Amino acid sequence: MKAYPIVFSALGALATIAMGIGINKTFIQLEEPVSEVVETATSDMADTESAGSIQHFPEISMEDIPDDEKMKEDILFGYNLVNETHVYADEYVGNQLSCTSCHAGAGLESSNASLVGVMADYPQYIARSGGIVTIEERINGCMVRSMNGKKFDVNSPELEAIVAYFKYISTGVEIGTERPWAKSSDMKKVPLPSVSDGERLFQEKSCVACHAADGAGNGANTGPALWGDNSFNDGAGLARLSKIAGYIQSYMPAGQEGTLTEQDAADLAAYILSQDRPEWKGHDKDWPKGGRPSDIMTKERREQVQNGTMNWQELLADFQ
């Protein structure tokens, strides 16, 4: 496997999943499951810089994992779980997505919602949860929202392995360090969208080549489902118009990233989010301390788009 070069970038790491990228699937074979949590993962590849900021994108290679047998087993299992979540954790996943569906190359790529150094961000306060969230809780949040599935048990081999992998790819990035390659891609000011223009762009920009005309996609890692039963539910981060519009503008189309205008991205986002998808049953419990954003595309709002009564000014009140 390749080592990833030093790159400067200002990218957003979403907490959640949906838009596809063209990458090849990579499987690392394991003989036995994981049973213990890895407390530390060390590597001599990346230089440690003082907490505050780190200016280079760390070189992470899956070929340089420490030789410790248990540690290596956990990290490799974690890599497989992140890269092919719907395969290696199929009993927990309720759709046909993987973490790689949003975080390219199991999060190792610098150019698409990178997870390199992710441990530096946790624990952190998340307003949607109303409290301090650990990395384990954040992973499980993705499992029930983006994967439309169920949480891993606290001491499950799967959860422990994913954390071990995240620790390994965070080597040299101290807790609290800013990661310039993982900046938010959220759209701060969102233009009022046109669903009909979004539908046209979905065809013109060749979105259908990867995601299919019906949004069902052609594979978790090559063109994930954007709507329907095999996509993320409406409690995921990407079910918010500002987040998915920013993601589209930053990372799509694959190979032509950054070529869409804000209007194009907003139109595509509105078209995608107006389609039917699994419903999150916990909306009433989100943002328990207030501050709920205006742009969540719930089932009620999808129906408003479909019957022509949608008030886009109201939906985007926080983003004008």
Residue 103 clears pLDDT 50, i.e. is over it: yes
Average pLDDT, the chain: 86
pLDDT of residue 18: 36
pLDDT of residue 61: 86
Residue 33 clears pLDDT 70, i.e. is over it: no
- Rounded to whole angstroms, the Cα distance separating 24 from 28 reads 13
pTM of this structure: 0.83
The set of residues, in sequence order, having a beta carbon less than 8 Å from that of 203 and lying 6+ positions away, is 213
pLDDT of residue 111: 82
Residue 193 clears pLDDT 70, i.e. is over it: yes
Task: Tell me what percent of the residues of the chain surpass a pLDDT of 90.
Answer: 74
Residue 105 clears pLDDT 50, i.e. is over it: yes
Residue 168 phi, psi dihedral angles, 5° rounding? -65, -45
- Range 195-319: architecture per CATH: Orthogonal Bundle (1.10)
- Confidence class of residue 46 from pLDDT cuts 50, 70 and 90? very low
- Confidence class of residue 21 from pLDDT cuts 50, 70 and 90? very low
Structure tokens at 302: 């999808």
Angle at 30 between CA 85 and CA 96, to 5 degrees: 15
Residue 10 clears pLDDT 60, i.e. is over it: no
pLDDT of residue 53: 64
Q: pLDDT, tens digit, for every residue of 277-297? A: 999 999 999 999 999 999 999
pLDDT of residue 32: 38
- So where are the chain's domains? 195-319
Residue 80 clears pLDDT 90, i.e. is over it: yes
Q: pLDDT, tens digit, for every residue of 152-190? A: 999 999 999 999 999 999 998 999 988 988 878 999 999
- Confidence class of residue 14 from pLDDT cuts 50, 70 and 90? very low
